[in-house]
Amino acid sequence: MAGFRTLPHSFMTQPSFGKPGSSTRTYLQCISTTCQATFEASEKIYRCPRCQDLLDVKYEWDTAAVSNWKGLFDQRRMSNRPIDVSGVWRFRELLPFYGSEDAIVTLPEGNTTIFSAPRSASYAGVTRLAVKHQGLNPTGSFKDNGMTTGATQANKLGARAVACASTGNTSASMAAYAARAGMRGIVFIPGGQIAFGKLSQSMDYGAVTLQIQGDFDDAMRIVQELAAETDIYLLNSINPFRLEGQKTIAFEMVQQLDWRVPDRVVLPGGNLGNSSAIGKGFRELFDLGLIDRMPKLTVIQAEGASPLAAYWQGDRTAGFRPVEKAFTLATAIKIGQPVSWKKAIRALEWTDGSCISVSEQEIADAKAIIGRDGVGCEPASATTVAGIKKMVATGDIHPDEDIVAILTGNGLKDPDYTINYHLGELYQHAERRMELMTGEGLLDSPFANRPIQVRAEKAAILDVLEQLLKD
């Protein structure tokens, strides 16, 4: 690794660690059970400098008032202060790293609805199903939950430029929070491989948008090298302060359920930051006595990008193997070398969880069904309902379980996918011209809802409606 280099117009100002909001000490700790080295929270590091493993943000909790916290968190839902309105910072006693309220960068995020999804439930074969829609966040994905804490730490460190590699949602979110905090945002995206809605966001929020000739895994490698060698602050989920925000998805979920813990929480897996974060969130609630049991965390991957599912379902003694040239039309999770795989395995172990993969067809159909619940989501999010259906069929989920699926992204992020499905034109490898010509790789669209061409005349329209409403 090259030595530390200061960028031309230094991107860092002096760190400012404000007055701490509580007496809780924050530190970083290596997750390796054989290393466990600890470091100051003010160090700009993303991996353990001793063994290169991932880092956790840890606290010496100030637990004197823990028994009052649920009441305090509930009370804050009546407040109009942005840091109380935020579904992340409302739980700030569980995020004490922030130190001073002045450092907080919030939009404010979270507060995403839990919908009942009866059509998805009956499609999947369960009695009832709840979906927590993280796509209702300010930039339309769960990344905002983590970006508010990542940007806050960047602010505390005096960062002037922040960067990430992304399949589109992280970049959209980071661009927005960088804009709010007055920092330069630099995003690295795989050229031609992210949904248009997401690309448009990072451009609109003013980020430097670098399209890499390569895939997400290439972009991730390059941005880590740059962050190690320059003053640019890395805001991918390898940064443990990002995961601190994402862990609050667990807090908000149980608060919305009147502090009841569901039997199972199902979510998509890509870079595996979210599974890691939500696992940590539930673990902290449990360790602090705020909940009395853990839900089973269930991660669903797309077949062509499923290294965790392969590990979990296979011979685990063979170790975790990345996937070369990952592929899925759910571009958000088109990732073969997930950075947080170790933390995700830990989360599955903590929660007696599991991981499986689903096919492109299963994802596409599940997405159409979620749409029929009047909810809608982006393709990656639909792995959840597809996965539940598959696990009910194999007997791994009992139909009466109390399940919350996390829909990670807004349906408007990737309208091309939705339109192609409903037109019956969703190709698995649309970039390959031969397949387009031969029709090979075309997915079925059993739940298609095609638009109808009709003359602008009342009689013609009534004819069409009569035909349709007859069925």
Stretch that binds ligand F0G, among 61-69, 167-175, 429-437, 453-461 (CB under 6 A): 167-175
DSSP labels for 60-108?
E--GGGHHHHHHHHHHHTT--SHHHHSTTGGGGGG-GGG-SGGG---S-
Site size for ligand F0G, by CB under 6 A?
A: 23
Site string for ligand F0G, 350-379 (x = CB under 6 A): ----------------------------x-
Q: Does 380 bind ligand F0G (CB under 6 A)?
A: yes
Query: What tokens were used for 387?
Result: 């996965």
Strand order in the sheet with 233-234: 208-212, 184-190, 161-165, 233-234
Give the H/E segment covering residue 217: helix 216-229
Query: What tokens were used for 367?
Result: 């997405």
- The DSSP 8-state label assigned to residue 417 in this structure reads H
> Whole-number minimum distance, CB 304 to ligand F0G, in Å?
14
259 burial level (CB within 10 Å; 0-12, 13-18, 19+): middle
Our CB check for ligand F0G shows the closer of 226 and 442 to be 226
Please, what's the b/e burial string for 84-115 (b: 16 or more CB within 10 A of its CB; e: otherwise)?
bbbbbbbbbbbbbbbbeeebbbbbbbbebebb
Our CB check for ligand F0G shows the closer of 76 and 413 to be 413
> Whole-number minimum distance, CB 166 to ligand F0G, in Å?
3
Pick the binder of ligand F0G from 112, 141, 153, 155 (CB under 6 A): 141
Tokens 């960067």: give the residue: 163
> What CA–CA distance (Å, rounded) separates 74 from 80?
13
> Whole-number minimum distance, CB 197 to ligand F0G, in Å?
11
Query: What tokens were used for 218?
Result: 């290439």
Q: Does 147 bind ligand F0G (CB under 6 A)?
A: no
Site for ligand F0G in 74-133 (CB under 6 A): none
> Whole-number minimum distance, CB 193 to ligand F0G, in Å?
11
The residue length of the chain stands at: 471
Q: Does 239 bind ligand F0G (CB under 6 A)?
A: no
Q: Does 409 bind ligand F0G (CB under 6 A)?
A: yes
> Whole-number minimum distance, CB 63 to ligand F0G, in Å?
29
Number of Cβ within 10 Å of residue 23's Cβ equals: 10
Query: What tokens were used for 349?
Result: 């172990």
Stretch that binds ligand F0G, among 26-34, 111-119, 271-279, 358-366 (CB under 6 A): 271-279
Our CB check for ligand F0G shows the closer of 129 and 278 to be 278
List 57's β-bridge partners, or say none. Answer: 28
Task: List strand residue ranges (DSSP E) for 346-393, in order.
Answer: 354-358
Our CB check for ligand F0G shows the closer of 96 and 239 to be 239
Site for ligand F0G in 24-53 (CB under 6 A): none
Q: Does 170 bind ligand F0G (CB under 6 A)?
A: yes
Pick the binder of ligand F0G from 332, 358, 368, 385 (CB under 6 A): 332
Pick the binder of ligand F0G from 190, 269, 281, 411 (CB under 6 A): 269
3-state secondary structure (DSSP) of residue 408: coil
First to last CA, the chain: 67
> Whole-number minimum distance, CB 32 to ligand F0G, in Å?
21
Please, what's the b/e burial string for 45-78 (b: 16 or more CB within 10 A of its CB; e: otherwise)?
ebbbeeeebbbbbebebeeeeeeebbeebeebee
Longest dimension (CA), the chain: 77
> Whole-number minimum distance, CB 323 to ligand F0G, in Å?
14
Q: Does 272 bind ligand F0G (CB under 6 A)?
A: yes
Our CB check for ligand F0G shows the closer of 99 and 354 to be 354
> What CA–CA distance (Å, rounded) separates 388 from 88?
27
> What CA–CA distance (Å, rounded) separates 124 from 114?
18
Our CB check for ligand F0G shows the closer of 86 and 408 to be 408
Pick the binder of ligand F0G from 201, 230, 274, 428 (CB under 6 A): 274
Stretch that binds ligand F0G, among 68-76, 95-103, 177-185, 270-278 (CB under 6 A): 270-278
> What CA–CA distance (Å, rounded) separates 159 from 253?
32
Q: Does 201 bind ligand F0G (CB under 6 A)?
A: no
Pick the binder of ligand F0G from 190, 262, 273, 376 (CB under 6 A): 273
Query: What tokens were used for 70?
Result: 């649920």
> Whole-number minimum distance, CB 33 to ligand F0G, in Å?
23
Pick the binder of ligand F0G from 106, 152, 153, 169 (CB under 6 A): 169
Residue 49 CB contacts under 8 Å (≥ 6 apart), including other chains: 37, 39
Pick the binder of ligand F0G from 139, 271, 384, 445 (CB under 6 A): 271
Binding site for ligand F0G (CB under 6 A): 141, 143, 166-170, 237, 268-275, 332-333, 378, 380-381, 408-409
